[in-house]
A and B are shown apart, each in its own frame.
Chain A
Amino acid sequence: MIYMDNAATTMKKPQCVIEAVSAAMCFMGNAGRGAHAASLDASRSIYGTRQSLAEFFHAENPKQIVFTNNSTESLNIAIKGTIRPGDHVITTEMEHNSVLRPLYEMEERGVELTIIPADKRGMVDYDDFAKAVRSNTKAIVCTNASNLTGNKVDIKKVGEIAKKSGLLFIVDASQTAGVYPIDVQDMNIDILCFTGHKGLLGPQGTGGMYVRTGVEVKPLKSGGSGVLTYSKHHPLEMPTALEAGTLNGHGIAGLGAGVEYIRRTGIDKIRETELSHMWKFYNGVKKIPGVKIYGDFDTEDRCPIVTLNIGDYDSSEVSDELLMTYDISTRPGAHCAPLMHKALGTVEQGAVRFSFSHYNTEEEIAIAVKAVEELSKEE
């Protein structure tokens, strides 16, 4: 199988990630629920990953890193835990449904919403952020990169606007964590939401968030914490405040190994390989008659994603043909980013997304280019 759906999940994981999960399943007790060896080993392992992630994202303290199941959970906690009826929130058309749906839910509860439009290439105008600020604006919720086009948002620039206006800045780093360096201090990020199973190369069911010290987030869940058993309320101390229930310790061990693999290999080196694949594929397919590519390729600052359509073919048919004839895995249809599909004009047709890993080979890229070429010639 030629796997080119890495923006959905990185299927091929480093061997050290697999070994870390497997080892954890042999030794791990329940973290923080006792002082015996198995429980302490679990706590140590989880704390190790917490510390790695804190260093990776430049958090001021490992306690400000919270573990969740994925970006969606992190974004729900961030949005529902900080925004109140009567507040105004700014977001963009580039967002995934994991941002939009919690915001629409808040809108129904009395939150005002401004959605910055995306142009035909799926890009936003940065001046629109400052123009949208009102007296009751509470937060900017913004993706770091589109899951559909791979184009990035200059988070540092948006972070400066948020800081200048005293707004909370919540960032969805689903496509960029582990791909591009993220410095929450330098970028003025108050809450960073990330998943573990994409660029961070960890297992599915892992993810997390960074929450700046002093930012109050009302928890979505309360329950077991291993601390303050006799209190009627869930503890307010971070990270426990946002981590009710037993954590996915086995998965988190794998996530820690993924982060260490990236640090050891070099985030820039991994990304350069992925982008080299992307450019090779892009340059190979861009001149094929009938192929329409979406997004902005005038910039080098993007994620390793190429989304396209062939003529008027339904994207699902193209993706199916890629699988059946060439054994290439891609994602067709709508990509949980409804407003981006509207901006790009692909609501009906959907689009076929090729997203690359550093584990892809040049040979695989050549096969994919040839496949698109052949399919475009078929009647």
Chain B
Amino acid sequence: MRKKELKLIVTFHTTADAMAMEKACKERGVPGRLIPVPRVISAGCGLSWCAETAEKENIKAMMQSVGIQEEDMHECMV
């Protein structure tokens, strides 16, 4: 298994939210990818957006401007 790193994990209420997130990030060149929600986090939707922790404010601002609602934001080892 690869070594774990500290990442920003954004969770969502629905798959549609996760899809909206991926699309918005791709369109705006915001790095990251969809991964299964890590076991340490309890979330509604099984998909989460995984990105570098340094991107947190950037991602928050982007989500607000696009109107995507997160369920939660975590920083954890994945």
Give A62 to B67 CA distance when docked, in angstroms: 11
Q: Is B62 an interface residue (CB 8 A)?
A: no
Contact status B46-A40, CB under 8 Å: no
Contact status A228-B47, CB under 8 Å: no
Q: Is A34 an interface residue (CB 8 A)?
A: yes
A 24-58 binary contact with B (CB < 8 Å = 1; else 0): 00000001111100001001101100110000000
Q: Which residue of B lies closest to A44 (CB)?
A: B19
Contact status B36-A34, CB under 8 Å: yes
Give A44 to B34 CA distance when docked, in angstroms: 11
Which residue of B20, B22, B23, B45 is within 8 Å of A32 (Cβ)?
Answer: B45
Contact status A226-B23, CB under 8 Å: no
Give A45 to B27 CA distance when docked, in angstroms: 16
Number of interchain pairs (Cβ within 8 Å): 63
Contact status B20-A235, CB under 8 Å: no
Contact status A240-B47, CB under 8 Å: no
Give A46 to B23 CA distance when docked, in angstroms: 13
Contact status B13-A62, CB under 8 Å: no
Give A70 to B30 CA distance when docked, in angstroms: 37
Contact status B22-A44, CB under 8 Å: yes
B78–chain A nearest beta-carbon distance, Å: 12
Give A239 to B14 CA distance when docked, in angstroms: 8
Contact status A35-B13, CB under 8 Å: no
Give A67 to B73 CA distance when docked, in angstroms: 29
* A-side contacts of B36, CB under 8 Å: 34-35
Contact status B46-A226, CB under 8 Å: yes
Give A13 to B22 CA distance when docked, in angstroms: 31
Q: Is A23 an interface residue (CB 8 A)?
A: no
* A-side contacts of B34, CB under 8 Å: 35, 40
Q: Is A361 an interface residue (CB 8 A)?
A: no
Within 8 A of A (CB), among B2-28: 13-20, 22-23
Contact status B67-A235, CB under 8 Å: no
Contact status A35-B20, CB under 8 Å: no
Give A43 to B45 CA distance when docked, in angstroms: 12
Give A239 to B22 CA distance when docked, in angstroms: 17
Q: Taking each of A47, A62, A238, which has the highest tally of chain B beta carbons within 10 Å of its own beta carbon?
A: A47
Q: Is B44 an interface residue (CB 8 A)?
A: yes
Q: Which residue of A lies closest to B48 (CB)?
A: A35
* B-side contacts of A33, CB under 8 Å: 46
Q: Is B35 an interface residue (CB 8 A)?
A: yes
Contact status B16-A47, CB under 8 Å: yes
Known contacts A43-B19, A61-B67, A32 near B13 by CB under 8 Å: no
Q: Which residue of B lies closest to A32 (CB)?
A: B15
A274–chain B nearest beta-carbon distance, Å: 33
Nearest first, the 6 A-B pairs at minimum CB distance are A32-B15, A47-B19, A35-B36, A237-B13, A227-B45, A240-B14
Chain A to chain B contacts (Cβ below 8 Å), 11 pairs: A31-B15, A32-B18, A32-B46, A33-B46, A50-B16, A62-B16, A226-B45, A227-B45, A238-B14, A239-B16, A240-B14
Q: Which residues of A are in contact with B by a Cβ distance under 8 Å?
A: 31-35, 40, 43-44, 46-47, 50-51, 61-63, 226-229, 235, 237-240
